[in-house]
Amino acid sequence: MKHLLPELPYQLEALAPKMSKETLEYHYGKHLQTYIDNLNKLIAGTPYEEKTLEQILLEAEGPMFNNAAQTWNHTFFFDTLTPQQPEIPQPLADALTRDFGSVETFKEKFTQAATTLFGSGWTWLVSDKDGHLSIVSESNAGNPLKKGLKPLLVIDVWEHAYYIDYRNRRTAFIETFWTLVDWQKVAARL
């Protein structure tokens, strides 16, 4: 199965000025495409060639895992963004309040985790098998699916995600991220 660059649910310029068209051209159009191209080369002629992206992520190691996970992570990240600012659905707000004390406390803790993640990686809102929510940061290509957790929300804190628009101001990027989250999609993943 050849993996392809997924279509974005919005135009490249739709998130500007919060996330510029140039950032998406590089982040989505070049970085993600490179992970997909590398993955297709690595799985060619192997049993992984017929597996889904999630199966490869869960089973592979080394470069094959890295490229599968980066493809999955980026696809999930881009799919979570929207140019609109939908309200947080009440069931999600209730779950965040139950497990973090309030929606604002959740955002503060998530922002802190993403800001303080050393180097490159991802910060996730996840649900465990019992439906409890937590924040997990993963370095490099890490993905919480490998730990049996269900991803609900993610932010990419690799420098390529924000450097064109925010330079070295990771915290400013994270604060702007909150205005791009598609809370309807996050709630649907509960």
| pLDDT of amino acid 32 | 98
The CA-atom distances, in angstroms, between 187 and each of 80, 151, 164 are 11, 11, 30
pLDDT (tens digit, 9 = 90+) per residue, 135-169? 999 999 999 999 999 999 999 999 999 999 999 99
Residue 85 has pLDDT above 90, yes or no: no
| pLDDT of amino acid 40 | 98
Q: Is 165 annotated as a binding residue?
A: no
Residue 1 has pLDDT above 90, yes or no: no
Higher-confidence position of 85 and 29? 29
The predicted model gives 83-100 an average pLDDT of: 97
| pLDDT of amino acid 170 | 98
Residue 177 has pLDDT above 90, yes or no: yes
State the amino acid at position 121 in one-letter form: G
Mark whether 167 and 97 lie in a shared domain: yes
Range of the domain at 145: 90-188
What confidence category does residue 57 fall into, taking pLDDT thresholds of 50, 70 and 90?
A: very high
Which tokens sit at 25? 């051209």
Mark whether 94 and 184 lie in a shared domain: yes
pLDDT (tens digit, 9 = 90+) per residue, 33-48? 999 999 999 999 999 9
pTM above 0.95, yes or no: yes
Number of domains composing the chain: 2
Mark whether 102 and 75 lie in a shared domain: no
Q: Is 132 annotated as a binding residue?
A: no
| pLDDT of amino acid 7 | 97
Q: Is residue 7 part of a domain?
A: no
Rounded to the nearest 10 degrees, the angle between the axes of helix 33-43 and helix 62-79 is 140
The predicted model gives 59-74 an average pLDDT of: 98
Mark whether 71 and 107 lie in a shared domain: no
Mark whether 103 and 183 lie in a shared domain: yes
Could you tell me which of 116, 119, 120 has the C-alpha nearest to residue 171?
116
Q: Is 99 annotated as a binding residue?
A: no
- Terminal-to-terminal C-alpha distance of the chain: 29
pLDDT (tens digit, 9 = 90+) per residue, 92-138? 999 999 999 999 999 999 999 999 999 999 999 999 999 999 999 99
Which tokens sit at 169? 């101001």
**CATH code, 64:** 1.10.287.990
Q: Which of 59, 79, 99 is the last residue of a domain?
A: 79
Q: Is residue 138 part of a domain?
A: yes
Q: Is 31 annotated as a binding residue?
A: no
**CATH code, 165:** 3.55.40.20
Q: Is residue 16 part of a domain?
A: no
Q: Which of 79, 98, 126 is the last residue of a domain?
A: 79
Q: Is residue 4 part of a domain?
A: no
Q: Is residue 1 part of a domain?
A: no
Q: Which of 79, 100, 122 is the last residue of a domain?
A: 79
Q: Is residue 29 part of a domain?
A: yes
Mean pLDDT, all residues of the chain: 98
Burial class (CB in 10 A: 0-12, 13-18, 19+), 67: buried
